Amino acid sequence: MFILFVVFLLATHYSVAQRKYHLQMILPDTTAPLSVKVKQHSAHADSVAVIRYIQHTVELLHKQSYLLASVDSLSFQKDSVYAYIHIGETIRWAALKPGNVEENILSQVGYREKVYKNGIFSYKQVSRLEEKILQYSDQRGYPFATISLDSIGFTHNKITATLKHTRGPYFIFDSIQIQGKARLKSKFLSAYLRLLPGQPFSQTKVEQAEKLLKQLPYVTVTQPFGVVFKNERAYPVFHLTQAAANSVDGIIGFLPGEKEGNKLLITGELNLQLRNLFSSGKSFLLKWQQIRPQSPRLDISYEHPALLGTPFHLKGNFNILKEDTTFLTIDRQVSIGYFTGNAGKISFLAGLKNSQLGSNAHYRESAELPVFSDYRYLYYGIDYIWNHTNDLRNPVKGFAISAGAWAGNKRISKNPFVAQELYENVPQHSLQILAKAAIDTYFPVTPRSVWVTSIKAGKIANSNLYKNDLFRLGGLTSLRGHNENFFFASDYAVLTLEYRYFIEPTSYLFLFYDQSYIKYAIPGSYYEDHPLGTGAGVSFTTNLGIFQLIYAMGQSQDRKFGFNFARIHFGLTSKF
Q: What is the mean pLDDT of residues 273-294?
A: 89
Residue 105, sorted as left (phi over 0), alpha (psi -120 to 50) or beta, turns out to be: alpha
- What is the pLDDT of the chain when averaged over all its residues? 87
Which range, of 114-123, 284-293, 358-367, 393-402, averages the lowest pLDDT? 358-367
- From the number of C-beta atoms within 10 Å of its C-beta (0-12, 13-18, 19+), residue 542 rates as exposed
DSSP letter string over 305-347?
Answer: -SGGGSSEEEEEEEEEEEETTTEEEEEEEEEEEEE-TTSEEEE
| Short-list 354, 316, 355, 314, CA closest to 333 | 316
So what's the pLDDT on residue 443?
97
> What mean pLDDT do residues 518-538 have?
93
Taking only the tens place, the pLDDT of each residue in 454-479 is 999 999 999 899 999 999 999 888 89
Note whether 216 and 542 are within 8 A (CB). no
Query: 217-251, pLDDT tens digit by residue?
Result: 999 999 999 999 999 999 999 999 998 888 888 76
Strand 295-304 and strand 282-292: pairing?
antiparallel
| Residue 192 to residue 307: CA distance in whole angstroms | 9
- Are the C-beta atoms of 27 and 87 separated by less than 8 Å? yes
CA 365 from centroid of its chain's CA atoms: 53
Burial of residue 499 (number of CB atoms within 10 Å: 0-12, 13-18, 19+): middle
Answer whether residue 15 shows pLDDT above 70: no
CA distance 421 to 283: 49
pLDDT higher than threshold 60 for residue 259: no
Give the pLDDT of residue 17: 44
Ranking 226-235, 284-293, 534-543 by mean pLDDT, the lowest is 284-293
Contacts of 379 (CB under 8 A, 6+ apart): 350, 351, 352, 353, 406, 407, 408, 409, 432, 434
Whole-angstrom CA distances from 121 to 38, 165, 295, 548 are: 19, 20, 74, 64
For residue range 295-341, list pLDDT tens digits in order. 889 999 999 999 988 989 999 999 999 988 889 999 999 999 998 86
> Looking at residue 36, what is its pLDDT?
67
In this structure, of 373-377, 487-491, 556-560, the range with the lowest mean pLDDT score is 556-560
- Assign residue 168 a region (left: φ > 0; alpha: ψ between -120 and 50; beta: otherwise): left
> 300 Cβ partners below 8 Å, 6+ apart?
285, 286, 287, 317, 318, 319
Q: What is the pLDDT of residue 264?
A: 65
Residue 117 confidence (pLDDT) above 80 = yes
The per-residue pLDDT for 226 is 93
pLDDT at residue 35, rounded to an integer = 61
For the chain, percent of residues with pLDDT exceeding 70: 92
**pLDDT by residue (tens digit) across 147-204?**
998 998 988 888 899 999 999 999 999 999 999 999 999 889 999 999 999 999 999 9
- Whether residue 545 has pLDDT greater than 60: yes
461: which strand partners? 433
Confidence of residue 546 (pLDDT cuts 50, 70, 90): confident
CA 300, CA 286: separation in Å to the nearest integer? 5
| Structure confidence at residue 265 as a pLDDT band (50, 70, 90) | low
pLDDT of residue 5: 42
**Rounded CA gap, 150 and 164, in Å?**
6
Q: What is the pLDDT of residue 331?
A: 98
Mean pLDDT is lowest, of 116-120, 163-167, 408-412, for 116-120
State yes or no: pLDDT of 1 exceeds 50. no
Name, in order, each residue with C-beta under 8 angstroms of 227's C-beta and a sequence gap of 6 or more. 143, 201, 203, 206, 234, 235, 236, 237
Nearest to 348, CA basis, from 400, 309, 396, 405 = 405
Mean pLDDT of 108-129: 87
Say if CB 195 and CB 173 are below 8 A apart. Answer: yes
Is the predicted pLDDT of residue 99 greater than 80, yes or no?
A: yes
Read off the pLDDT of each residue in 19-45 and give the average, rounded to a whole number. 76
C-alpha to C-alpha distance for 296 and 397, rounded to whole angstroms: 36
Structural domains of the chain ordered from first start:
2-86 (no CATH), 92-166 (3.10.20.310), 172-242 (3.10.20.310), 247-575 (2.40.160.50)
Rounded to whole angstroms, the Cα distance separating 306 from 189 reads 8
Does the structure show a pLDDT above 60 at 3?
no
pLDDT, residue 379, reads: 98
For the cut 90, the answer to whether the pLDDT of residue 431 exceeds it is yes
Cut 0.85: pTM above it: no
Give yes or no for a contact between 110 and 131, defined as CB atoms under 8 angstroms apart.
Answer: no
In this model, does residue 496 exceed pLDDT 80?
yes
Q: Evaluate if residue 18 carries a pLDDT over 80.
A: no
The DSSP code sequence of 343-403 is SEEEEEEEEEEEEEESS-GGGGG-SS--SS-EEEEEEEEEEEEEEEES-SSS--SEEEEEE
* pLDDT the model gives residue 572: 77
Q: Among the listed ranges 18-32, 368-382, 452-466, 509-523, which one has the minimum average pLDDT value?
A: 18-32
Say what the pLDDT of residue 16 is: 42
Strand residue runs (E) in 257-310:
264-277, 282-292, 295-304
- The model's pLDDT over 152-164, given as tens digits with 9 standing for 90+, comes to 898 888 889 999 9
Of all residues in the chain, what percent carry a pLDDT higher than 90? 54
Determine contact, residues 89/68, Cβ cutoff 8 Å: yes
